[in-house]
Structure 1
Amino acid sequence: MRAIITLCFAHIKKRKIQNVLLAILIMLSTLLLATSVTIIMNTSNIFEKTHHDSNGAHQILTMGKDIHNPNTVNNWWQEQQGVSASNLIPYRNLSGFTANGAETPNDLYLFMMNTPKMPFAIDRLLFSESKNQDYPTEGTIWIPTSMASTSNISLGDAIEFNTGEKAFSLSVSGIVVDLPYGGPFSNNARIWMNDTDYHKQFDTMIGSEQYMMALRFDDYQQSANYWIEFEKFLNGPYLESKMEYVDLYSFYLIINKIIGFIMIAFGVAMLFISLFIIGFSISDAILTNYKTIGVIKSLGLTSRKISVTYVLQFALLSVVSIIPGLIASTILSRVIIESSLSYLKSEKHLTIIQDIRITMLLAVIILVIVILTAFIYSNKTRHVEPVQAIKYGMSEFANKKLNRRLNNSNRLSNFVNLPIQLQIGIKNITKNMKSSILIIVLTAITSAILVFSAVMLNSFISIKQNTPAFGYDSSHVVVSVSNDATFSKQQFEQFLRSDERIKNHAWLDQFTGVLPNEPNQPLNIKVDTLEGSFDAAGYETISGRNPVNKNEISIGLNVAKALHKNLGDIVEVYIEGKQHHLIVSGIYQSIANMSNSARITADVIKFYNATYSASKQSMINLVDETLSDQIVDDLNNNFKSSVKADTQQTLLDDVFKVVVAVLIIPLSVIGILFITVTFIIIFSVSRIHVRKESGTYGIFKSIGMTSNTIRWSITSGVLFLSGLGTLFGIFIGIKLIPLALQSILLEYGLLELPLAINWPITIGLSLLSVVAACLGCWVSTKIIAKTSPRILLVE
């Protein structure tokens, strides 16, 4: 045993730099894997904890007075056993607000709630900032964390709202976690008002009051049975808006699901690279010490005991590496979770669970994998024959193979008559095929990560380039009507038609549609209704076409999947309580509402309401898009009392800046880690080769070659290999990784992720892997410059 321990520590001391670099590699693998596990585990747990603490709703129902009687609906649910139903909460709709002197984009629709006394029975509000209060005091409001974060609103800030008839200002006295309407990508926000302020501002406002109620089931799995009974009570389907638990849940998790997937995939890749390096190091150590092993075996030490020295060496390195990796993962995972789930932060912190059992299990798995790898590769000592080892310094077969490969490379060099520097580079590649393959694989993975990160971030930053592929329109300017009483559609359209800068426009409304889905619950979806051309507005489909006629409908991807419908099928849909049978003309993907939506023309509504005219939102295309800001200013100045105009770019940036802010930290960390790993591994591999070929380089120096010439020759081979790896990496980053994400994206209504590629930035970042590889090689060969030819020859 003493001999084994002595040999083990001798191996560690002999290759200090190589062992330190390998330890760093194992640590980084542990960091990525442990971080991804923590993120995935906590993402669901934190949402579930928040949902539990708030006694959260499983369903949210919104109603007016035109289709169902809200009191009748509420009374029925209040009487059910196994269901908790909130009281009806009245609210009025507004669009947009002004905070800190800056107007917000008009894509945020506000529910101005008449706040009941806290605590609510279900769907409670959790205070993120300020002390718990029974209700907002007069002149103040509570706002959700999502609105506070995206608009940089703090406690005490004044927010101005405009009803179209008048403007009023209220100060923020509370920032609350509001699960149903406070998540990422939400274009709705509940503003919680004092009862006195509510009646003072809205009693005289034109339009009807709406009502909201929340349902929580003792057993959510039984909700379908309750709805069967409820629809029997209604003598038909529930025809107004219903938000399901899955809708609340999904968008809180989408970003972390993507981050977790990326970190697991790249953590596993880094672990495999670590294992390859362990195998490479052991194989190299065996070849380098072949004679020594032969002598030791001839003295009586068995192959098994020699093998144990390598296993013990890498087991010790793993233990030393895994512990700091686990510690660092707690910090990195907290940073990522805090940024991605900030909307769920109550009392200024998130309770992040670090399950010691899972952490230890992961550590044990990594340690076992490393030990097994070391054992498998160290088993090669069984084949060491003392006589051959002492005679050739390797097996006789390996000696013949090496001579044959050197002869082939010499013939290749002579045939093409290359300069001596390139010949050295080619010999370095052909003589060390395993390390050459490693360099290609490593730079391919690193460049793939850098390319994917660049493309992913650019796709969200440049969302305007691909808005139709995300399910949005591609119009240049969006105008929302804020005051129906003062708005004249005729005057507005006359202004548009007289302006030569405007190419075309369309009007968009949104209704709640109900699609019966036997034997499951009916689908309550958003139905986009357009007065104009969907194609001209820039909407796209992934199959078929947008609706043109009054008997056609285009449906979202997840609606088609749920109903098992395809092009040409008939869909039964209720809109405003009226039944329609429409032909599916197209299927589209959309991240908004997770493709649980549909598109129809305004003619469908006019079929039962001849006087209907869409007048909620206008989408305008210009002859010259660069005039968008100018048109927005003109529209806001000319129709100040009734509309609010924004560029489409402004609206999209407001929605997707959250994604960019959350993704930039983990993608940057992963990219930096792999660049570092590339440098470390290629430094280590090149250092091994320099030691093995020290005699050859000593001869080159003794016949007049400079140290820099030799170093450039070696680096040129690495440059060629890393360049080849980068080409593969660009393909993997643009094609294969997004394809692997498809299973996650499909859940959120996207068949494929629309990519916007900035080629100069993408190629520039991919070349960082080449720079890291060449720099690692160049630094590792510094020993050639420092050492005299005589010493090199002796070594």
Structure 2
Amino acid sequence: MLLHLLKRDLGKKKTVSAILFAFVLLSSLLASAGAGLIRELAGAVSGLLGTSAVPHYVQMHSGALDPAAIERWAADNALVDAHQIVEMVPVKGSRITLGDHAGPESASVMDFYFVKQNEKFDYLLNLSNERVEVAQGEIAVPVYFKERRNLEIGDRVRIAHRDFVMDLAIRDFVRDAQMNPSIVHSKRFVVHPADYETLKRRAGAVEYLIEFRLKDAGTIADFHAMYQASDLPKTGPSVDLNLFRMLNALTDGVLAAVAILVSLLLVCIAMLCVRFTLLATLEEDYREIGVLKAIGASRRHIRGIYLAKHAALAAAASLCGCAASFPAARLMSSDIALYLGKTDRGLAYFALPFAASAVLCGLMILFCMLVLRRFGRIPAAEALRSGGIGEAEISRSRWRLHRSRLMPVPVFLGLLNVFQRPRMFGLLFFVFAASAFLMLVPVHFLNTMESPGFIAYLGIGRSDLRIDLQHSERMEERFREAVDAIRRDADVERFSPLVASRFRVLNDDGTVGQLNVESGDFTIFPLEYVQGGAPRDDNEIALSVLNAREMGKRVGDTIRLLAGGEERTMVISGIYQDIANGGRTAKARLPHDPDAALWYTISLDLKPGVDPQAKIAEYERAFGPAKATDLPGYIRQTLGQTIAQLRSLAMLAFAVAIFLSMLMTALFLNLLTARDRSHTAIMRAIGFQHRHIRTQYVAMALAVLAAGIAAGTILANTAGQSLAGAVWSLLGASDIRFVIEPVQAYVVCPVILMLAVSAAAWIGAESARKVNIAEMIKE
């Protein structure tokens, strides 16, 4: 009998059952895909770092060094397991042409380094996660350029460096555990040792990575303190295993986390769907339930009939969602496969998505059981007599129909219904608010990252152009020549030269640390400060968020620097956001030591009407090998991969929000029309046409939707902004402020949502047509 009733119920409510099935399937798909993506990402990052034997600690250095001193220091350090010095030959992008691209990489913000394959560790891997090996005349190119320039094996890389030209064939593509992500501006190309020696001899400049593998990765912090307190080379930033892991996992990790958060939101709303459908079913079957109880059917058996249907739906939908999650996860993890490699598909590959679906299915069944507890409150005699559960207490309203002269009667009755039953419509309000939140937060975040002002979160003031001079011969002299030339340039409206140097810091515990400080005037192109402001006096300094957090400093505190051979007490004037350079920088107005300079930059604004691209080309020719870029291009190249992922996520969230709102509107109106059968019959009897009743239901849905959109918009602009800041705080930007496009956020998105809900309400109210007036009056 249970199977017969189950089959009959599914056949009678095909549309509602199909909608509920689809909704649970979508929840299961996202939960399983998110869980699978996290497993895939964790496995891929771990596999890449392990296979490449990534260093635990790396000190970048430009200039002369003493390998013997490094060898002695490493041999005497009990924490060191192995070390090596990796040489890299930098070549300017304007001298490199990749594949069939129309011209050289002059506009690229990336630093091009040519290296040999390493011998001890820090191996550069191919797309099979094997050590890259190339023959003479061949080259292995980073996967970043494979994706950006659509390169294929066999394409050519041309290096035109001063008086020689080297033409190399692409043999493979490189996965670099240190420099894979686009947010890391250094990229390593692997060439044959003979070609490397030619480049080294012709280019005339070499930079170094001083790399260490430790016996215990947990001692990285201790080792960092030891190295910084030593006299070993430090002309460049230092990075460690934790940063490598975070940078490799950042983009896809955010996508996976958002997918799981969306799935949790959908699970909550799916439970509301179950509640709506169960209550609607109880309304329709109230008399049948009374008959079953009257003939002796136990409450447990009656509950089993309804529980079986929804348990079967939840189980089938969860299994289908789990199955569909595998191709969906493969689609979502395409960047993981390219940049990090594929993971082994062992038991965990299937177990984790299945477990996520099983948990979701269990939650749905548990919630069904909680809703079905009301069977104990249904007396058989009352059910046979009334045929309905009865209305909940209706709140009184001062609205009176005879006083309404500004709106049509159906619209007035719809609004009155909403105000009289706030508890019932509160559930629909929650769904609409969640849908608006889900729709707007990714859109706001995408607009923020694509806006020119986002450059401030990279620890860079907003300007038209930026000129970078890396360490090379006569760097100080060439920097001064560039500053003088820009000062005389009539096309330049304002400019700010900056010099980054490394200073020693005297910590409160007596140890000595290192701090990269950029010196110059930071009031010309101001940064985004979380607290305080720019340093204006010689004894003031501003710290990045990560530096302030690690040093335990706030605005008004002091730090002690060794500058010019003497100790200087610096007052912290501000704390700013910076997701570049490892997020650990500082800004001050200190005099710099040319021998300790790390890099030079010049930020400038052009006068109106001046072509930025023409200026970039002019400065590239005049100040070579300096690199000139416009800041929108800088953001696009640095965060292009993250922006592309976020754009896909925004489109998916938009579609899910529309689908969610339409589905819940249809299910809610199905419940409401079932409850209001007697009211509908009375309205039909006194002359209301079906289109009037439909208009009433549409007015109800739109009234609740308007309130939900308002609440969702407020949440998106507050809680959503805080959520985005929490994600980016891992890299050093803890106070993200959304850039909101008013027309898009407050007109286009709400109008589309309203049209979708109106259509769903108009269709959902069709069931009111089936009300039999004569039968309802007889009852």
Q: TM-score, normalised by structure 1?
A: 0.87
Distance in 1, Cα, partners of 2:312 & 2:144 = 47
Q: How do 1:304-323 residues align onto structure 2 when only pairs under 5 Å count?
A: 304-323=300-319
8 Å contact kept, 1:551–1:604 = no
Q: For structure 1, which runs of at least 5 residues remain unmatched after alignment?
A: none
Q: Deviations over 1:500-524 (max 9, x none)?
A: 3311112233334554657799765
Equivalent in the alignment of 2:36: 38
Equivalent in the alignment of 2:428: 439
Q: Deviations over 1:248-278 (max 9, x none)?
A: 1111222233223322222111111111221
8 Å contact kept, 2:61–2:234 = no
Q: How do 1:201-280 residues align onto structure 2 when only pairs under 5 Å count?
A: 201-203=199-201, 205=203, 209-224=206-221, 234=230, 241-280=237-276
Equivalent in the alignment of 1:109: 111
Q: Which stretch of the first structure deviates more once superposed, 506-515 or 252-261?
A: 506-515
In 2 relative to 1, CA 628–794 (structure 1 residues): closer, same or farther, beyond 3 Å? farther
**Could you tell me how far 1:654 is from its partner in structure 2?**
1.4
Distance in 2, Cα, partners of 1:625 & 1:163 = 34
8 Å contact kept, 2:180–2:248 = no
Equivalent in the alignment of 1:425: 414
**Is 1:624 aligned to 2:608, yes or no?**
yes
8 Å contact kept, 1:147–1:153 = yes
Secondary structure, aligned partner of 1:685: helix
Secondary structure, aligned partner of 1:749: coil
Q: Deviations over 1:588-636 (max 9, x none)?
A: 11111342112233x4315xx6x99998432111232764334334434
In 2 relative to 1, CA 336–196 (structure 1 residues): closer, same or farther, beyond 3 Å? same
8 Å contact kept, 1:573–1:581 = yes
Q: Deviations over 1:551-573 (max 9, x none)?
A: 43321111111111223433345
In 2 relative to 1, CA 235–740 (structure 1 residues): closer, same or farther, beyond 3 Å? closer
Q: For structure 2, which runs of at least 5 residues remain unmatched after alignment?
A: none
Q: Deviations over 1:348-369 (max 9, x none)?
A: x555665433334323322222
In 2 relative to 1, CA 549–28 (structure 1 residues): closer, same or farther, beyond 3 Å? same
Equivalent in the alignment of 2:363: 369
Equivalent in the alignment of 2:743: 760
Q: Which stretch of the first structure deviates more once superposed, 660-669 or 785-794?
A: 785-794
Distance in 2, Cα, partners of 1:182 & 1:411 = 64
Distance in 2, Cα, partners of 1:325 & 1:72 = 60
Q: Deviations over 1:510-546 (max 9, x none)?
A: 334554657799765543333xx21213334322232
8 Å contact kept, 1:144–1:176 = yes
Equivalent in the alignment of 2:730: 747
Secondary structure, aligned partner of 1:445: helix
Equivalent in the alignment of 2:583: 595
Secondary structure, aligned partner of 2:126: strand
Counterpart among 470, 474, 480 of residue 462 in structure 2: 474
Distance in 2, Cα, partners of 1:576 & 1:187 = 31
**Could you tell me how far 1:449 is from its partner in structure 2?**
1.2
**Could you tell me how far 1:666 is from its partner in structure 2?**
3.2
8 Å contact kept, 1:95–1:109 = yes
8 Å contact kept, 2:428–2:668 = no
**Could you tell me how far 1:484 is from its partner in structure 2?**
5.8
**Is 1:562 aligned to 2:562, yes or no?**
no
Distance in 2, Cα, partners of 1:588 & 1:559 = 10
Secondary structure, aligned partner of 1:587: strand
Counterpart among 83, 87, 92 of residue 84 in structure 2: 87
Q: Deviations over 1:212-257 (max 9, x none)?
A: 232222321134555677678x479967642211121111222233
Q: Deviations over 1:289-309 (max 9, x none)?
A: 333322322221222322222
**Could you tell me how far 1:470 is from its partner in structure 2?**
4.2
8 Å contact kept, 2:482–2:623 = no
Q: TM-score, normalised by structure 2?
A: 0.88
Q: How do 1:353-432 residues align onto structure 2 when only pairs under 5 Å count?
A: 354-394=348-388, 398=390, 408=396, 412-417=400-405, 418-426=407-415, 428-429=417-418
Secondary structure, aligned partner of 1:126: coil
Matched residue type, 1:538? P
Equivalent in the alignment of 2:192: 194
Matched residue type, 1:563? M
Matched residue type, 1:508? L
In 2 relative to 1, CA 791–525 (structure 1 residues): closer, same or farther, beyond 3 Å? farther
Secondary structure, aligned partner of 1:309: helix
Distance in 1, Cα, partners of 2:776 & 2:517 = 78
Counterpart among 630, 640, 643 of residue 647 in structure 1: 630
Distance in 2, Cα, partners of 1:756 & 1:485 = 42
In 2 relative to 1, CA 744–172 (structure 1 residues): closer, same or farther, beyond 3 Å? same
Q: Deviations over 1:47-87 (max 9, x none)?
A: 01111112222112334555x52332135435767744243
In 2 relative to 1, CA 81–147 (structure 1 residues): closer, same or farther, beyond 3 Å? farther
In 2 relative to 1, CA 73–221 (structure 1 residues): closer, same or farther, beyond 3 Å? same
Q: How many percent identity over aligned positions?
A: 15
In 2 relative to 1, CA 332–438 (structure 1 residues): closer, same or farther, beyond 3 Å? same
Counterpart among 268, 276, 285 of residue 281 in structure 2: 285
Matched residue type, 2:633? T
In 2 relative to 1, CA 564–760 (structure 1 residues): closer, same or farther, beyond 3 Å? same
Counterpart among 684, 689, 698 of residue 715 in structure 1: 698
Secondary structure, aligned partner of 1:328: helix
Distance in 1, Cα, partners of 2:598 & 2:582 = 24
In 2 relative to 1, CA 282–783 (structure 1 residues): closer, same or farther, beyond 3 Å? closer
Secondary structure, aligned partner of 1:590: coil
**Is 1:509 aligned to 2:499, yes or no?**
yes
8 Å contact kept, 1:443–1:769 = no
In 2 relative to 1, CA 167–708 (structure 1 residues): closer, same or farther, beyond 3 Å? farther
Q: Which stretch of the first structure deviates more once superposed, 613-622 or 46-55?
A: 613-622
**Could you tell me how far 1:109 is from its partner in structure 2?**
1.7
Equivalent in the alignment of 2:154: 156
Q: Deviations over 1:3-33 (max 9, x none)?
A: x444444433332211221111111111121
Root-mean-square deviation (Å): 3.6
Equivalent in the alignment of 2:176: 178
Secondary structure, aligned partner of 1:138: coil
Q: Deviations over 1:150-181 (max 9, x none)?
A: 34333333334465676655443221111112
In the alignment of these two chains, the number of paired residues is: 769
Distance in 1, Cα, partners of 2:89 & 2:543 = 29
Secondary structure, aligned partner of 2:732: coil
8 Å contact kept, 1:94–1:162 = no
